C-alpha cells in the first residue's frame, strides 16, 4: 500500500510496518530504505512484549489482521488482535502534511480484566539503498534536559545516517508520567501501564532528509505540531479535492465509486508535483518514469488539474535540460528487461531514469496539446512551449529522420504501427499548438513531418483474426486498436474497429479457458487489464451496454500494481461510467 505527498512516498506492508521510503525528487528517485523479498521480517515493524514473551505482528497464526485505506483521507488503518495474549493494536498511518515525514499512531488495547504492563516494540532494521562503500551508522542521541518526558522526546532519539540520506525516529506515549521509552540499536521499546479494558496510544514519527542536520530540522518542526494536526490537515486537503470529484459519481454503483475514488487519490498523490516514480522489477531501483507519468496525466487533466499538470510538464522540461537534451531509445516499448540509465550528477548523487522511447515522448506531446487548449487564460503556456514542446519536437524529428536514413528490412528496432500512429498524432497536435501560438515556421515544419509519417502508414488497416494466438499477439493487436481509436486515425464507425474488437474479445475468452487449465502460463493481471480497459472505452462510445459491462466487471477484479495501470483504469471509468 503506497501513500504519498508532494515530497515523500511511503510503502506500508500488510502488518502496518513500513517497507520503503523514497524522496519525491526527479533527480534523486531511489529507495532510501532497502528491503528484500527473501527477508524473514519487515524492516520497520511493530511487536508486543508482555509477561516476558515477545510477539511480532509477523506472526500471522496468532495475530488476526484487518487493513483498510480510509477515503477520502488517504490514510492507513490496521486492526491487529491477538486473543492469546489479550492485546489489540489499532495502527493509523499517514504521510505528514507538506513535509517529508510519516506519522503512525498505535492504539494499544488491554482486553483483560486486570491492569497490565505492556511493552510496544518498534523494530528498525534500516538499510540504505546505495553502494556498499558508503558508511552507514545508527546514532542513539542522548535525551536533552526538559521539563517533561514529552518535551525531551522532541529531540530525535534515534538517527540513521548514510552518505546521502538520514532518517530520524521519535516515539512518545499518551501519558508521559506512566511510560518509558528506550532506544537501542535497531529497536525502540515503549513501556505502558494500561488499566483493565482500557487503552493508550503511542505516536511514532519518521522524518527523511538528505543530511542529518536537514532531517533534524524537519523532524523537530513536525513533531512539535503533533500527529493530530497533520492527520486533520491531510484529511482536510483530500476532502476539499474529493468534493468536485464526487460529483462524477452519479450513475456509479457503490463498489465502482470506491474504486474510482481510490484510484483517483492514488494516481493524483503519486503524480504531483514532479511525475511518477516507479520501481524497476529487475533492479528494485526507483526511477523517474516518463511512461507512467504520461499515462497518469491523462485522467488528471480530465479531472481539471490544469495548473498541476502544467507543473509536471515544467519538471519534465527541467529533466530534459538536466540530461542535456532529449535522447530517444529506438526500441518500441518498455519491458521488464529494459535497463535503466544511470547518470551521475555529482560524486555522491546518482539518478536513474527510464530510457525515453518515441511513443512515450509522442504521448506527452499529444497530452501537452490538450493542456494548451484547456489551460485557463490567467496562466500562459508560452514558457512551456519553448522549454518543452520545441525541444521535444526537435528530438522527435531527428529520431524520425535518422530512422528513414537507416531504414532497412533487417533492422530489429523498426517502429511498430502503434508507434507510427502515435508519432503522427503528436505531430498534428503540436502543429495545432504552434498555430495557436502564432509560430508559423513551427506550424509548417510539424505539419510536413506529420505528412511524411502518414505516407509510411497503411491507413486502410484490416482486422487481424486472433484465433489460436498467444497473449503477446493479442496484446500487440490490442495496442494497435487502442492507438487507432484514441488518436482518431480512423472514424469510430469504421468496420475495422467492430471486427477487431470482436476478434480481441474472442481471443481473450479462449485465453481465459487456457489459463484456467494452466495458470502458470497466465501473464500479470496488469497487461490483461489494459486490454479490457481499451475495449471498454470503445464499447462505451458505441453504446454497447452489455459488452461494456462485461469488460468493466473483468477489469475491476484484476490486481493493478503500478500507477500508470491505475491511471488507465481511471480513464476507462471516466470514459464509460461518468
Q: What CATH number has the domain bearing residue 104?
A: 2.70.98.10
Q: Classify residue 570: in a domain, yes or no.
A: no
From CA 161, how far away is CA 32, in angstroms rounded? 11
From CA 524, how far away is CA 116, in angstroms rounded? 48
Cα–Cα nearest to 199, from 63, 334, 106, 62: 106
Q: Classify residue 534: in a domain, yes or no.
A: no
pLDDT at 26: 47
Assess contact for 102 and 20: CB atoms under 8 A: no
Assess contact for 30 and 126: CB atoms under 8 A: no
Q: What are the DSSP E strand ranges found in 232-380?
A: 276-279, 286-289, 341-344, 350-353
Give the residue numbers spanning the domain of 230.
2-237
Residue 49, Cα to own-chain centre: how many angstroms?
Answer: 36
In terms of DSSP H, where are the helices of 128-271?
Answer: 149-152, 212-225, 227-246, 254-271
The model's pLDDT over 55-86, given as tens digits with 9 standing for 90+, comes to: 988 787 889 988 776 655 567 888 999 999 99
Helix (H, G, I), strand (E, B) or coil at 151: helix
Positive or negative: CA dihedral 538, 542, 547, 548 = positive
Q: Classify residue 214: in a domain, yes or no.
A: yes
- Grid-cell match 475491476, residue found: 556
Question: What residues contact 339, with CB distance under 8 A and at least 6 apart?
Answer: 355
Q: Classify residue 328: in a domain, yes or no.
A: no
pLDDT at 578: 57
Domains in the chain: how many in total? Answer: 1
Assess contact for 396 and 362: CB atoms under 8 A: yes
Q: Classify residue 123: in a domain, yes or no.
A: yes
Question: What residues contact 9, with CB distance under 8 A and at least 6 apart?
Answer: 2, 3, 21, 22, 24, 95, 270, 277
Per-residue CA distances from 412 to 332, 336, 359 (Å): 10, 18, 17
Cα–Cα nearest to 35, from 134, 125, 161: 125
Task: Report residue 321 as a C-alpha cell.
Answer: 535540460
Task: Report residue 445 as a C-alpha cell.
Answer: 515544419
* Strand-pair category, 137-140 with 116-124: unpaired
Per-residue CA distances from 168 to 103, 156, 359, 485, 521 (Å): 12, 6, 42, 51, 45
Query: 190: exposed, middle or buried (C-beta count within 10 Å: 0-12, 13-18, 19+)?
Result: buried
Q: Classify residue 149: in a domain, yes or no.
A: yes
In 3-state terms the chain splits into helix, strand, coil percentages (rounded to 5) of 45, 20, 35
Q: Angle at Cα 217 formed by Cα 23 and Cα 231, nearest 5°?
A: 65
Cα–Cα nearest to 331, from 452, 412, 421, 427: 412
From CA 149, how far away is CA 173, in angstroms rounded? 10
Cα–Cα nearest to 198, from 175, 176, 231, 177: 175
Helix (H, G, I), strand (E, B) or coil at 208: strand
Q: What is the 3-state secondary structure (H, E, C) of 396-462?
A: HHHHHHHHHHCCCCCCCCCCCHHHHHHHHHHHHHHHHHHHHCCCHHHHHHHHHHHHHHHHCCCCCCC
Which parts of the chain register pLDDT below 50?
A: 26-30, 35-39, 130-135, 144-155, 177-178, 322-324, 329-352, 408-414
pLDDT at 281: 60
Cα–Cα nearest to 264, from 234, 292, 241, 290: 241
DSSP letter at 523 equals: P
From CA 283, how far away is CA 276, in angstroms rounded? 17
Q: Classify residue 477: in a domain, yes or no.
A: no
Q: Classify residue 504: in a domain, yes or no.
A: no
DSSP letter at 114 equals: S
Amino acid at each position: 500500500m503506497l501513500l504519498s505527498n508532494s515530497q515523500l512516498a511511503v510503502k506500508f506492508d500488510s502488518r502496518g510496518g513500513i517497507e520503503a521510503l523514497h524522496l519525491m525528487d526527479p533527480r534523486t528517485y531511489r529507495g532510501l530504505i532497502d528491503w528484500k523479498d527473501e527477508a524473514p521480517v519487515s524492516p520497520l515493524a511493530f511487536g508486543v512484549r508482555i509477561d516476558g514473551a515477545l510477539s511480532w505482528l509477523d506472526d500471522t497464526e496468532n495475530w488476526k489482521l484487518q487493513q483498510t485505506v480510509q477515503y477520502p483521507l488517504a490514510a492507513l488503518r490496521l486492526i491487529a488482535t491477538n486473543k492469546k495474549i489479550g492485546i489489540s493494536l489499532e495502527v493509523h498511518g499517514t504521510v505528514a502534511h507538506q513535509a517529508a515525514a510519516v506519522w503512525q499512531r498505535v492504539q494499544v488495547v488491554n482486553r483483560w480484566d486486570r491492569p497490565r504492563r505492556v511493552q510496544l516494540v518498534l523494530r528498525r532494521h534500516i538499510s540504505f539503498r546505495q553502494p556498499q562503500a558508503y558508511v552507514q551508522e545508527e546514532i542513539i542521541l542522548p535525551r536533552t534536559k526538559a521539563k517533561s518526558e514529552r518535551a525531551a522526546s522532541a529531540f530525535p532519539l534515534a538517527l540513521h545516517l548514510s552518505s546521502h540520506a538520514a532518517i530520524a525516529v521519535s516515539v512518545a506515549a499518551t501519558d508521559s508520567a506512566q511510560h518509558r521509552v528506550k532506544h537501542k540499536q535497531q529497536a525502540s521499546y515503549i513501556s505502558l501501564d494500561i488499566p483493565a479494558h482500557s487503552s493508550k496510544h503511542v505516536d511514532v514519527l519518521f522524518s527523511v532528509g538528505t543530511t542529518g542536520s536537514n532531517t533534524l530540522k524537519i523532524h523537530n518542526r513536525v513533531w512539535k505540531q503533533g500527529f493530530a494536526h497533520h492527520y486533520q490537515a491531510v484529511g482536510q486537503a483530500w476532502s476539499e479535492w474529493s468534493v468536485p470529484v464526487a460529483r462524477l459519481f452519479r450513475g456509479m454503483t457503490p463498489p465502482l465509486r470506491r474504486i474510482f475514488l481510490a484510484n483517483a487519490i492514488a494516481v493524483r498523490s503519486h503524480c504531483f508535483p514532479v511525475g511518477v516514480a516507479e520501481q524497476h522489477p529487475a533492479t528494485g531501483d526507483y526511477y523517474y518514469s516518463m511512461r507512467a507519468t504520461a499515462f497518469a496525466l491523462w485522467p488528471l487533466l480530465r479531472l481539471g488539474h490544469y495548473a498541476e499538470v502544467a507543473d509536471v510538464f515544467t519538471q519534465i522540461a527541467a529533466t530534459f535540460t538536466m540530461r542535456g537534451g532529449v535522447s530517444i531509445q529506438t526500441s518500441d516499448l518498455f519491458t521488464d528487461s529494459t535497463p535503466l540509465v544511470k547518470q551521475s550528477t555529482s560524486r555522491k548523487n546518482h539518478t536513474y531514469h527510464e530510457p525515453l522511447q518515441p511513443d512515450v515522448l509522442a504521448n506527452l506531446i499529444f497530452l501537452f496539446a490538450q493542456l494548451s487548449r484547456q489551460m485557463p487564460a490567467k496562466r500562459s503556456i508560452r514558457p512551456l512551449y519553448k522549454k518543452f514542446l520545441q525541444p521535444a519536437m526537435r528530438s522527435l524529428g531527428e529520431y524520425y529522420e535518422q530512422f528513414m536514413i537507416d531504414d532497412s528490412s533487417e533492422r530489429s528496432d523498426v517502429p511498430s504501427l502503434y508507434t507510427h500512429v502515435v508519432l503522427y498524432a503528436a505531430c498534428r497536435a503540436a502543429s495545432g499548438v504552434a498555430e495557436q501560438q502564432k509560430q508559423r515556421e513551427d506550424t509548417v515544419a510539424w505539419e510536413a513531418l506529420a505528412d511524411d509519417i502518414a505516407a509510411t502508414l497503411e491507413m486502410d488497416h484490416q482486422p487481424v483474426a486472433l484465433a489460436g494466438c498467444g497473449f503477446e499477439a493479442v496484446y500487440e493487436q490490442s495496442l494497435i486498436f487502442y492507438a487507432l481509436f484514441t488518436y482518431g486515425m480512423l472514424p469510430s464507425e469504421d468496420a475495422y474497429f467492430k471486427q477487431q474488437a470482436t476478434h480481441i474479445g474472442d481471443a481473450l475468452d479462449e485465453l481465459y479457458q487456457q489459463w484456467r487449465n494452466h495458470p502458470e502460463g497466465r501473464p500479470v493481471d496488469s497487461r490483461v487489464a489494459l486490454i479490457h480497459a481499451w475495449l471498454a472505452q470503445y464499447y462505451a462510445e458505441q453504446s454497447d451496454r452489455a459488452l461494456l459491462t462485461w469488460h468493466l466487471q473483468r477489469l475491476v477484479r484484476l490486481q493493478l500494481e503500478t500507477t500508470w495501470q491505475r491511471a488507465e483504469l481511471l480513464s476507462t471509468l471516466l470514459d464509460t461510467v461518468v
